[in-house]
Structure 1
Amino acid sequence: MPTCPKALWPFFLVTLLPVACLCFASSTAAVAQNGPSDRDNAVNIALKADDRLKPVATFDQQVTGVTVSQTGRIFVSFPRWTEDVEVSVAEVQRDGSIKPYPNEIWNSWRKDRKDDLRASTHFVAVQSVVADGGSLWVLDPAAPNAEKIVKNGPKIVQIDLVTNTVKRAYLVPPDVAGPTSYLNDIRIAPDGKYAYVTDSGVPGGLVVLEIGSGKSWRALSDAPPTKADPRVTITTDGQQLRRPDGQKPAFNADGIALSPDGAFLYWQALTGKTLYRIETGVLKTPSPQGIEDRVEKVAETEPVDGLWMDKSGRLYLSSLADNAVKALEPDGKRRTVIADPRLRWPDTIAEGPDGTLYVTASRIQDSPWFHRSGWQGNGGFTLFSFRPDAEPGSK
């Protein structure tokens, strides 16, 4: 695979200035409230494969996003990071192969054809996908190599799952997705009226899309709850994660989850150990005043990438340090649901109609961003599934 490009993620370019004290008035949270951690900075790296973790498909391209429709169709997304990709969004077939979705045209953008193809009508650098109702929603930050965005590229694309055609592409304007923005993850309100997005770029923040009007706006932009915490260091493989120059990466607001009733939005900076939430009603007004006072601290966690809240309101987190997926219990403790050495950088978590959970292993710590010699390890990038209610040792 290609070696690391000289330009690095905007996440890495975040200047870690002292962060104001993260103290917010809190009320009782649905998931947990300021509960204790399940460990004191200990690392419990999974060393043994768990038979409950089933490979669904393995890809030649680095995979990040996964989602499952109400009818069980599986979709994945491939970021255009350290190398160009042949497919940005795909449907996983029963034999594990992939089919460009919704078609090859939308997936035809390439770096060497950027002047020939309109960024507004092609996937440029997709980060995540989420199926909701009868639609697949595709989040395209349009920042190849996770560098500056391509003009007219940042967008949220709605695809009809019945006709398999694009229903609408919502372009995110420059005043919402600036030149160093990186739209990261997305959730759709149960009533279908709003979409909520994390921005991991600079500055960190949340983005709200009013689906009916197509208008979008920022919230909590460059606010402490959406910024990387300079006191936190990401750990993988039992070691601190560092760039080749010795600097540690700083990821702003990343993982996102929505309560089943759509009343609360949860998020966390990847370089952070604090899970936050806010009432979604507060976000439905552009540039609301006093919004930081409405942010609630839910729990102390650990650096995680993906968040998922299931139909019962249980919140799942991907543990980078432990190669695991954990659940946040009502008392604030994190319980390991499944851990496996194959879960190298568990990224996105999704739920199927039967309650099966799916998780991608994006192997970010193995990438050229952290190794001058290029990709580390053997094999491709895998999408896994597991039953969260299955007992250890069961198959």
Structure 2
Amino acid sequence: MPSLSLVAAFDHQVTGVTVTDDGRTFVNFPRWTEDTAVSVAEILDDGSLRPYPDDAWNGWRNANDASPGDHWVCVQAVVADGDSVWVLDPAAPATAHLVPGGPKLVQIALDGDRVARTVAFGEDVAPEGSYLNDVRFSPDGTHAYITDSGWRGALVVVDLETGTARRVLDGHPSTQPEDDVTVEIDGGPLRRPDGRGAVFAADSLALSNDGETLYWKALTGRTLYRIATSALRDESLDADALAEAVEKVGQTEITDGLWIHSSGRFFLTAVETYAVIERDGDAETVVVQDDRLRWPDTMSEGPDGTMYVTASHIQDSPWFKPDADHAVPSALYRFDPAD
């Protein structure tokens, strides 16, 4: 079994990680608490964090009048794609109310670390109660696919050539939490102080290496789904026809992150068992398991095939432990799946 190595430790909760083709590593810290000083950062060689792309983009606060359209409000994911890093900002601090004008997908050119474009999402794509969660990009660079893990799950299809976006499978069973699923962690059910459990809709997301199949599942769910991306891109399909194109892949554990490795191996982060698992057909095996993986969240692949995984410590957050410090430490790890 591969060993888990610490890459960096953080004072606040990390969710997303991405590694570029030349080995640069980026992470993000959602504004789940008001003391989150940096939203997106590059991890430098000495382990320090460089606000990315600059201090100005990381300078938004609820207390000032900075424009939410050109500042990070509550970033959930960072994904490198070729010569760019894309940042997904659901703009819902503490996963609560949306900040108007804030939901967006931003492309940053790695050459010069400059913002190349912003795809803003209106209420038709990111309505109140939404929380855009993760994103994948087609190999030809024409489309992006996003999960919404908010109160009413959905997928979002973005045409990157036109800058338009569509909300699809909104309310479809494949994008919703499953009623009979409870997150069991640290020896018991994960519940808020008022007794409510952890409930999250469409979250986990992966795209096949050829770009032809998209996989997703609700975090609070055990059913993995897929669809041909050709169906997602076909705007002539109505909601019923698109729903008919959804396929059940099978049952799995409660997962947060999905990743299809360049080798074709399918990895999933197993929240309840502090592990990364591999799915091969209907069989699943543990790749790495470690108590330090408190809520293994997002994965990314380095240029040499090394896997990176964040531990976001969601079960330690004020949502579930209101007496905890607002700053919840978290970490980034890596492992070699070939070991």
TM-score, normalised relative to structure 1: 0.83
The residue type paired with residue 85 of structure 2 is L
Does structure 1 residue 297 correspond to structure 2 residue 261?
no
Once the two structures are superposed, the pairs formed by residues 88-237 of structure 1 within 5 Å of their partners are: 88-113=39-64, 116-237=65-186
For residues 264-307 of structure 1, what are the alpha-carbon distances to aligned partners after superposition, in whole Å with 9 as ceiling and x for unaligned? 00001000000000000111134722111111111200110011
- Tell me how far apart the structure 2 counterparts of residues 185 and 346 of structure 1 sit (CA, whole Å): 15
Q: Percent identity?
A: 51
The residue type paired with residue 191 of structure 1 is D
Q: Which residue in 2 is equivalent to 1:54?
A: 5
- Tell me how far apart the structure 2 counterparts of residues 293 and 121 of structure 1 sit (CA, whole Å): 38
Q: CA deviation at 1:245?
A: 1.2
Q: CA deviation at 1:122?
A: 0.7
The residue type paired with residue 287 of structure 2 is V
Q: CA deviation at 1:217?
A: 0.5
Q: Which residue in 1 is equivalent to 2:299?
A: 349
Could you say what secondary structure the match of 1:111 adopts? coil
Q: CA deviation at 1:119?
A: 0.6
Q: Which residue in 2 is equivalent to 1:333?
A: 283
The residue type paired with residue 343 of structure 1 is L
Whether contact under 8 Å (1:314, 1:327) holds in the other structure is yes
Structure 2 alignment gaps of length 5 or more: none
Could you say what secondary structure the match of 1:271 adopts? coil
Q: Which residue in 1 is equivalent to 2:189?
A: 240
Structure 1 alignment gaps of length 5 or more: 1-49, 391-395
- Tell me how far apart the structure 1 counterparts of residues 227 and 328 of structure 2 sit (CA, whole Å): 40
Aligned residue among 204, 208, 217 for 1:255:
204
Once the two structures are superposed, the pairs formed by residues 16-31 of structure 1 within 5 Å of their partners are: none
- Tell me how far apart the structure 1 counterparts of residues 223 and 284 of structure 2 sit (CA, whole Å): 13
> Aligned in 2, Cα 1:336/1:386: closer, same or farther, shift over 3 Å?
same
Q: Which residue in 1 is equivalent to 2:17?
A: 66
Larger RCO: Structure 1 or Structure 2 (Cα < 8 Å, ≥ 6 residues apart)?
1
- Tell me how far apart the structure 2 counterparts of residues 59 and 368 of structure 1 sit (CA, whole Å): 17
Whether contact under 8 Å (1:230, 1:250) holds in the other structure is no
For residues 99-141 of structure 1, what are the alpha-carbon distances to aligned partners after superposition, in whole Å with 9 as ceiling and x for unaligned? 011111111101211xx11111111100000001001000000
Q: Which residue in 2 is equivalent to 1:363?
A: 313
Whether contact under 8 Å (2:316, 2:328) holds in the other structure is no
- Tell me how far apart the structure 2 counterparts of residues 72 and 372 of structure 1 sit (CA, whole Å): 38
- Tell me how far apart the structure 1 counterparts of residues 27 and 115 of structure 2 sit (CA, whole Å): 17
Q: CA deviation at 1:249?
A: 1.9
The residue type paired with residue 100 of structure 2 is K
The residue type paired with residue 236 of structure 1 is I
Q: Which residue in 2 is equivalent to 1:22?
A: none
For residues 205-241 of structure 1, what are the alpha-carbon distances to aligned partners after superposition, in whole Å with 9 as ceiling and x for unaligned? 0001100100000110010000000111111113111
- Tell me how far apart the structure 1 counterparts of residues 222 and 312 of structure 2 sit (CA, whole Å): 21
The residue type paired with residue 312 of structure 2 is S
- Tell me how far apart the structure 2 counterparts of residues 85 and 154 of structure 1 sit (CA, whole Å): 18
- Tell me how far apart the structure 2 counterparts of residues 375 and 329 of structure 1 sit (CA, whole Å): 40
Whether contact under 8 Å (2:151, 2:200) holds in the other structure is no
TM-score, normalised relative to structure 2: 0.97
The residue type paired with residue 295 of structure 1 is V
Q: CA deviation at 1:82?
A: 2.6
Q: CA deviation at 1:84?
A: 3.3
Larger radius of gyration: 1
Could you say what secondary structure the match of 2:264 adopts? coil
Report how many residues are paired.
337
Does structure 1 residue 284 correspond to structure 2 residue 233?
yes
Aligned residue among 262, 265, 268 for 1:314:
265
Whether contact under 8 Å (1:218, 1:286) holds in the other structure is no
